[in-house]
Structure 1
């Protein structure tokens, strides 16, 4: 199955661009970091905040995904049209657990499609979005590193996503076993959408203090 086939069947008309929460009628928008500021005095990074963020997104991920679920890992990379194609190895290879031939097989299964640049900027027509997708399972991925990289967008922290040239990549976790989608937009927050609110109600009830807003149709 390809990602767009799945989306047309289950999440029709949804686009993989921020914000998925605003595009869908069922979802939860979480605020991360518990109001701890990112910087200390003298502009030093407040690592306590980021540790809290990492813990929160790991908890949410583990509530949504089991190791044997079938998922799509979808990554948007943004580039100038004149620049060379972004190598998928830099997008995915550091975050795959597998080694040797198995890893090569996964990399060979990554699909890519090019779309118009989705954001409003000057000369937007000179840019484009390359969207990569890989059908895999959470057990195939270095999930902890992936989650951290997604939240480290605006700060000099590792791990970071590689291969980008214009904007930091956007990464979406699409659970096709449970029909939900998880997106971390940066250290400030993340979004979860689902076909049925019953599938994510437990998140709202258990982590209500983290909820910025929610929609349940």
Structure 2
């Protein structure tokens, strides 16, 4: 199965790009680390803030994904057309896979650069995808890397040239998509509201906005 075939069947017209919440009728937008500043009084990184963010995103992820759930781990990498592809998928995937042989199962599709820029035609997007199970991934460092893109904290994603990668977790067992856009928040969409009702009820205090009506 390919990610584009799954999306065409279950989430028609959805594009795996930032702001999936605004593309779909059923979803939740979570705000992370509320009321805690990213920097402390000395202008240094506030580790308490990042600990809070890590905890919240892990709680949300654990509610959505079980160990044996089949999922696509999708990474959008944005690059200049003249730059090669050498080992880019390795730096996005390799640190977070328990079995390195899974690297050979990664699929890739090259697409037009999806954002509006004056010189957008000079760039392109490569979308990597791996069909695996949650238990195949090192979830804790993977989630942290997704939240660290704007800060000099480890773990981090590597191999990026234009923008930081966008990483999506697509649970094909439950028809749920999870996207951490950075340390400030994350988005969850689902095929229907009942699939994320428990998440809505349990973490309501973290919700920035929601679309829980049925589509």
TM-score normalised by the chain length of structure 2: 0.97
Question: What residue in structure 1 maps to residue 63 of structure 2?
Answer: 63
> Moved runs in structure 1, 4+ residues, more than 2 A?
none
User: In structure 1, what is the Cα distance between the partners aligned to 2:168 and 2:103?
Assistant: 17
Q: Is the 8 A contact 1:116 1:129 kept in 2?
A: yes
Which residue of structure 1 lines up, in the alignment, with residue 33 of structure 2? 33
Q: Distance in 2 between matches of 1:25 and 1:86?
A: 38
What residue number does 2:124 align with?
A: 128
Find 2:156's aligned residue among 142, 157, 160.
160
Q: Matched residue of 2:42: which SS?
A: helix
2:82 aligned residue: 82
Report matched runs for 1:68-217 at 5 Å. Answer: 68-87=68-87, 88-98=89-99, 103-104=100-101, 106-217=102-213
Which residue does 2:23 correspond to in 1?
23
User: Aligned residue pairs: how many?
Assistant: 212
Deviation for aligned residue 1:40 = 1.1
> How far 1:119 sits from its partner (Å)?
1.2
Are the equivalent residues in 2 in contact too, given 1:71–1:177 (CA < 8 A)? yes
Q: How far is the alpha carbon of 1:189 from its aligned partner? A: 0.3
User: Structure 2 regions of 5+ residues with no counterpart?
Assistant: none
Q: Deviations over 1:138-166 (max 9, x none)?
A: 10000001100000010000000011111
Question: Is 1:86–1:164's contact at 8 Å kept on the other side of the alignment?
Answer: no
Offset, 1:216: 1.8
Any idea what the Cα deviations from partners look like across 1:105-160, whole Å, max 9, x if unmatched?
Answer: x1111000011111112201101100000000010000001100000010000000
Gapped regions of structure 1 (runs ≥ 5): none
Bigger mean CA deviation after superposition, 113-122 or 7-16 = 113-122
Give yes or no for contact 1:68–1:137 (8 Å, CA) kept in 2: yes
C-alpha RMSD over aligned residues = 0.8
Give me the whole-angstrom Cα distance separating, in 2, the residues matched to 1:95 and 1:163: 14
Question: Secondary structure of 2:170's partner?
Answer: strand
Measure the CA separation in 2 of the matches of 1:214 and 1:176. 22
